[in-house]
Structure 1
Amino acid sequence: MATHKLKYVVVVLMCMAVVGAHVAKADINCGQVVNFIAPCINYLINGGAVPGGCCDGVKNLVLLAQTTADRQTACNCLKAQAAAISPFKNANAEALPGKCGVNLPYKISNSTNCNNIKF
Structure 2
Amino acid sequence: ISLIHQLHALIAERFSDKEVVAVYGSDELRLEKVQAMRQQKTDILITTTILERGVTFDAVSVIVYGANHRVFTSSTLVQIAGRVDRRQEFNYGEVLFLHDGETRDMKEAIRQIKQMNRLASKRGMLDGL
When the two structures are superposed, what TM-score results if normalisation uses the length of structure 2? 0.37
From the CA coordinates, give the structure whose radius of gyration is larger.
2
The structure with higher relative contact order (CA 8 Å, sep 6+) is 1
| Higher-helix-fraction structure | 1
